[in-house]
A and B are shown apart, each in its own frame.
Chain A
């Protein structure tokens, strides 16, 4: 069992957990992830390790409520325990001194961007961060990102904070301003990463993305997470999760991630009906 020792709400649908997992805390490197299963009937879902404290033996996870398992995690409190946590999985980020690294995080994607940015900063890079969210309330880890970045640009879809617009527009502007960038790291929803790669492609800027396909075992055994990369099959769990974004077939992955839409809806409905904390009130309009 893996006890939750700290829980923090970051936005209405995003929360942060510190979980006791001493070996993983000691071993993990930026870019790696874990797979967890909450209880005996639970599914296995991958989550990025955002940070760790080897002394205290804890790892930090940031979770967005998108389906049954993440919603259930959202109901767990400090003192509750997760049945299974396995990791660290995946290859660590290839971190070196590139020069100037532009790191782009969209929504929950800022969570995995943070440990990598920290690593890049520690390796001597000048780190320029572009952080995006739908609105001000949904922006996470701003303070942490500022601590590891030399420059931070913020965009929101509705303009409630920072600049109105998308992270890709901000990135394009920096490219056009001829801001030096030796590499771009972008993590967020798949359409965002795809758009980001199209922004950097014409300029030939090396662009790394971290992919989040459906996984089961996470050790290369099942192939659920396969993608087409440079025309070949790759398993994200063992060959990734980070790839040269210009070689990833995003359209295929976007489709594959919709495999269980119907089942996800059923599971969520069962969950809100039986155990969900939400109650539906009529507003009496």
Chain B
């Protein structure tokens, strides 16, 4: 690109995505941003200066050819742009919405060195939505069957990626899902206003149309073990069962009525649609004063979900300061706009209930930051005598998840670490058990959708090789 053109392009400011007004959106579960209209998308894509050595591609865990798809958007070839993304990423409409781009592609974007980076995530979302909404989604040609079949356990981002990659290579793929709907954390965890469930359903439908079989209500480890899958004709098994075991704090009063794990709270509202009770049968406590404990994306999701159920106040209680919050900046920003009250450097010490066992208040202690710990973040230390109470009737604990034990408990020869996460070779996803691969949160602990997908991609490659060569 000639320097003049580069200069022109650098003058274009980053185009914000139009979104629902905060006052309006806290009263509904509709998606917050509306997405770019085509002209805004083209303008934003113009900001890419088509670097010869695009750092953004290196910053992407699945190595999407970002400059190429942005250039296609500039040319108005939106469907082609979506297909370009899909060469590397099977779930662009999902990733465009939930990836932490500011820590990945957009973090290293050259345009962002001086000004704001190109809105790669927003544009990924635009291309994927355009393709889907105009009915342009095409099913790729599937090669003749290889005669090999693979069982994928769990239908979250890792499992869906593995399934998509392998079915395109001609293998027979069956996904086993324990819940009644496929999608894993995309269905039960991430709220409707951030990732509409119709989008997850469309992505799952795309896999089905490619020939992936999905069996719901099938908890592997219970209905069949991994060994039985291998004996019953599956040539390989991928375990993508996620981080399905909520951590609690281990402080008094944690089992009072009104104290939820984020998993339970989000599952009730998202998967079971408790926000539409009694039209839907599953209830959830509609608290007047709600406190969410934790500082990650799940905490933000829980807090913003709680806001939409009509409370007086929603707090986020986090033991470190704002700078250390692991949540995406955009989520914190959205939460602030919507009226969440942040209590930084604050840590619960006990939950207090009434005689019926219902939560009334949380006793907290103020914290200060001391020396850095193993994670490199400054360790929060309680300030003695600084205890105080916050009256709340609902508390949601979002301090992370452990690995779900159903599979490790029932699979002989599968090695796990001291936290119970499955041990794999990071390059291939190979576990200690022949023919069994794994990736995503069951390996990583709490992580992101895109890293789970990256694991799925690598594992799919290794599974394909294993199926062809039989070498372990």
Contact = CB atoms under 8 A, between A and B. Distances in A.
A48 B282 CA distance: 20
A223 B246 contact: yes
Given A41-B279, A267-B277, 11 more contacts: A41-B273, A44-B180, A83-B180, A84-B216, A84-B217, A86-B217, A221-B245, A221-B404, A222-B264, A223-B261, A260-B285
Interface stretch (A148-156, A200-208, A250-258): A250-258
A227 interface: yes
10 contacts: A43-B283, A86-B219, A216-B268, A216-B282, A219-B219, A226-B248, A228-B255, A233-B255, A252-B357, A266-B277
Nearest to B221: A219
Contacts of A189: none
A263 interface: yes
A87 B178 CA distance: 9
A43 B280 CA distance: 7
A256 B218 CA distance: 28
B409 to A, nearest CB: 9
A89 B405 contact: no
Interface string A212-253: 000011011111101110000100001000000000000010
Interface string B399-427: 00000111000000000000000000000
A37 interface: yes
Given A221-B404, A270-B278, A216 B264 contact: yes
A260 B281 CA distance: 11
Given A87-B223, A220-B245, A255-B356, A41 B257 contact: no
Given A44-B282, A89-B222, A255-B357, A221 B257 contact: no
Interface in B107-157: none
A24 B244 contact: no
B255 A227 contact: yes
Nearest to A69: B281
A217 B404 CA distance: 12
Given A24-B223, A89-B222, A220 B405 contact: yes
B298 interface: no
B179 interface: yes
Given A221-B246, A223-B248, A252 B180 contact: no
B272 interface: yes
A259 B278 contact: no
A224 B267 CA distance: 11
Nearest to A253: B255
B263 interface: yes
A86 B281 CA distance: 18
A42 interface: yes
Contacts of A256: 255, 257, 357
Contact of A252 (B245, B255, B273): B255
Contacts of B263: 221-223
A233 B248 contact: yes
Task: Please tell me the size bucket of the interface on B.
Answer: 35 or more
Interface string B346-378: 000000000011000000000000000000000
B87 interface: no
Contacts of A41: 273, 279-281
Contact of A258 (B223, B246, B356): B356
Contacts of A217: 178-179, 188, 244, 267
A278 interface: no
Interface of A: 23-24, 27, 37, 41-44, 68-69, 83-89, 216-217, 219-224, 226-228, 233, 238, 252, 255-256, 258-260, 263-264, 266-267, 270
A264 B281 CA distance: 9
B404 A224 contact: no
A198 B283 CA distance: 34
Nearest to A270: B278
Contacts of A226: 248, 255
From A27, A221, A263, residue with most partner B Cβ within 10 Å: A221
A109 B313 CA distance: 42
Contact of A219 (B250, B278, B404): B404
B406 A219 contact: yes
B360 to A, nearest CB: 14
Given A37-B180, A89-B219, A238-B406, A263 B267 contact: no
A43 B272 contact: yes
A218 to B, nearest CB: 8
Contacts of B277: 263, 266-267
A264 B285 CA distance: 12
A224 B244 CA distance: 13
Contact of B257 (A84, A216, A220, A255): A255
Interface in B311-369: 356-357
A270 B280 CA distance: 11
Contacts of A252: 255, 357
Contacts of B254: 233
Given A43-B281, A221-B404, A222-B246, A84 B264 contact: no
Contact of B285 (A69, A233, A259, A267): A259
Contacts of B280: 41-43
B264 A266 contact: no
Given A226-B255, A258-B257, A86 B178 contact: yes
A86 B179 CA distance: 8
A87 B257 contact: no
B224 interface: yes
Contacts of A266: 277-278
Contacts of B222: 27, 87-89, 219
A233 B263 CA distance: 16
Interface string B243-278: 011101010001101101101100110001100011
Top 9 nearest A-B pairs (CB, nearest first) are A255-B357, A263-B283, A222-B264, A43-B281, A221-B244, A86-B217, A84-B180, A223-B261, A43-B282
Contacts of B248: 223, 226, 233
A176 B389 CA distance: 51
A170 B243 CA distance: 47
A221 B179 CA distance: 10
A144 to B, nearest CB: 26
